Chain A
């Protein structure tokens, strides 16, 4: 499913719940069940991390997940097999989040073709800023895969313009400086940052969001989507009743993705 179709399907007062888990953590089979739990709980889009040995944009939670997945045998070949086997079972978009060296090594064109063929609708590459993204952007355009670029609190006006011009699917708005991981101090100025970004592409806010209350606040501040990653990965790492807990937690977060408002 295309990302834009998903956003079109949402109600006017509804934001998308975008969940991240690392593919192959703790095993490829477990990932299938985890995805199934996320979808039952109400996740609208699933980011499936393709684990890299040196994930420098990630905090300890996702670093550890990447390590577990690689040790359990996850690699790009298996990743695309896994995605192929689940993408047509669920009517939601899947997004690949990975680091540039894995794309570059496979060959950018081939990587994106494999994405398209296996049912990946978009890619996020945290170590690829817009200036270095031409090759990937061209391959994505050719294969009808969305390139999701990142905007942060320190991205200036000119760069925001450049990023929005090259992005499709959704814009990944990072709510605070630092690496991925659950934090209580989400920037209060998320609303301001969202206002600064003048684009018709849906805006999804991520980094540090892990409670229903934070989800509610981000949605109230005007986001079209909320990205939650480390909180799910923590449940997986606990190895305790993970499928039920993930479904329940996703449902709780999704409940906070609605705004009851009357348009003035």
Chain B
């Protein structure tokens, strides 16, 4: 294993012996194709003309006026599929094809990654299988239909907490059984090396565009950049090009859920960066929500996409080295921010992204965010309408 495989003490390759040859092959091939002109030409073709890049950096005038600072929204919600997820799925599906694999498997939480995988799989002619926790199948029904229409096979997972972490377990089990024909298209900056690096690289298109666009508009870099964080792919993709610009505050906003407490089996939040402890989950050493024995706690968030007990190892490293600030927004704060953006800007944000907005609205007037703020609006909220309607009727506990 190379030193690239770790971020400080985090990262690594804690996987079954059977997967080692596959992840070594992936690392080798990725290293080769990431600079291959044919690969890059194909990647840009799909990213630009299929997915709809580049996305605007939108100056949110009304929000800015009300909250007294300049707020820019990176409009990843305008991408094909409605979220940033497609940046990564196109990249990896293309990589799978270049590697000669004809089948891709993926896990999905909210269904956004599954949908984006199904889109990339269909466009690139790959057999696509998506694992999704039963609980998520329930709360994101339309995404299940979308995936099926796109030709993917969706397997509900009834094990464990029936959410994202169990879907990852099941996708890993599939991969280990079909490793010759299959590429595991992981949806976030989690898992064994080289996944956190590959996903971060494919998502860095977000931060690279922000850098160029903000300089065009403001002739300088922003004071702070805010992204919601579940596994952390939109956050790492937005932050990565700015990590060395140390004057810029990078802020991860995690799901504070119902409360920051835990029961013996479950956390009532998904804030693994904020309050998780070092451990090993899904192939990497990172911060995780666990009990005193090391059993993984179930997590909670109103947004399925943030509902995860772990977080990308590089984010854990950036937090420990104090490059990254972390914060939480509760279910309620996210809902309030959701409505605020709908009313003020005419944009329906994903509940995931609403956590990042909530933090900015909360802190705008304290001065700690500075004057120019970029929020990554990682997805659109059409998929969340049922959840929002139910919670406004006070049905709670979704």
Contact = CB atoms under 8 A, between A and B. Distances in A.
Central interface residue in A75, A130, A149, A152, by most chain B CB within 10 Å: A152
A96 B13 CA distance: 22
Interface stretch (B56-64, B226-234, B254-262, B288-296): B288-296
A149 B17 CA distance: 9
Contacts of A101: 279-281, 288, 290, 294, 296
A75 B169 CA distance: 21
Given A56-B173, A101-B279, A177 B18 contact: yes
A155 interface: yes
Interface residues of A, number: 42
Nearest to B159: A63
A154 B160 contact: no
A174 B18 CA distance: 9
B196 to A, nearest CB: 15
Interface stretch (A7-15, A102-110, A197-205, A213-221): A102-110
A76 B17 contact: no
B14 interface: yes
A79 B323 CA distance: 41
8 contacts: A53-B160, A101-B294, A106-B293, A131-B1, A152-B17, A154-B18, A178-B177, A179-B173
B21 interface: yes
A105 B17 contact: no
A132 B13 contact: yes
A51 to B, nearest CB: 9
A192 B13 CA distance: 28
Interface string B163-176: 00110110011001
What bracket does the count of chain B residues touching chain A fall in? 35 or more
A10 to B, nearest CB: 26
A31 B17 CA distance: 29
B264 to A, nearest CB: 11
Contacts of A76: 293-294
Central interface residue in A53, A126, A152, A177, by most chain B CB within 10 Å: A53
Contacts of B294: 52, 76, 101-106
A174 B282 contact: no
B62 to A, nearest CB: 45
A178 B15 contact: no
Contacts of A70: 295
B349 interface: no
Contacts of B13: 129, 131-132
Interface SS, B side: mixed
Contacts of A57: 16, 173, 176
Nearest to A131: B1
Given A132-B12, A178-B176, 16 more contacts: A53-B160, A56-B169, A60-B159, A67-B160, A76-B293, A77-B293, A100-B14, A101-B288, A101-B296, A102-B294, A104-B279, A104-B294, A132-B13, A150-B17, A154-B20, A156-B21
Nearest to A180: B173
Contacts of A103: 294
A191 interface: no
Interface of A: 52-57, 59-60, 63, 67, 70, 75-77, 99-106, 126-132, 149-152, 154-156, 159, 163, 174, 177-179
A174 B16 CA distance: 11
Interface in B8-55: 12-18, 20-22
Nearest to B20: A129
B327 interface: no
Nearest to A126: B16
Contacts of B14: 100, 127-129, 132
Contact of B281 (A54, A132, A150, A179): A54
B283 interface: yes
Contacts of B281: 54, 101
Nearest to B17: A150
B150 interface: no
Interface in B94-142: none
Given A102-B294, A104-B279, A155 B176 contact: no
Nearest to A78: B293
B205 to A, nearest CB: 30
A29 to B, nearest CB: 21
Contacts of B283: 127
B318 interface: no
A177 B175 CA distance: 10
Given A155-B21, A177-B176, A53 B296 contact: yes
B179 interface: yes
B17 A155 contact: yes
Nearest to A127: B14
Interface in B278-319: 278-283, 285, 288, 290, 292-296
Nearest to A152: B18
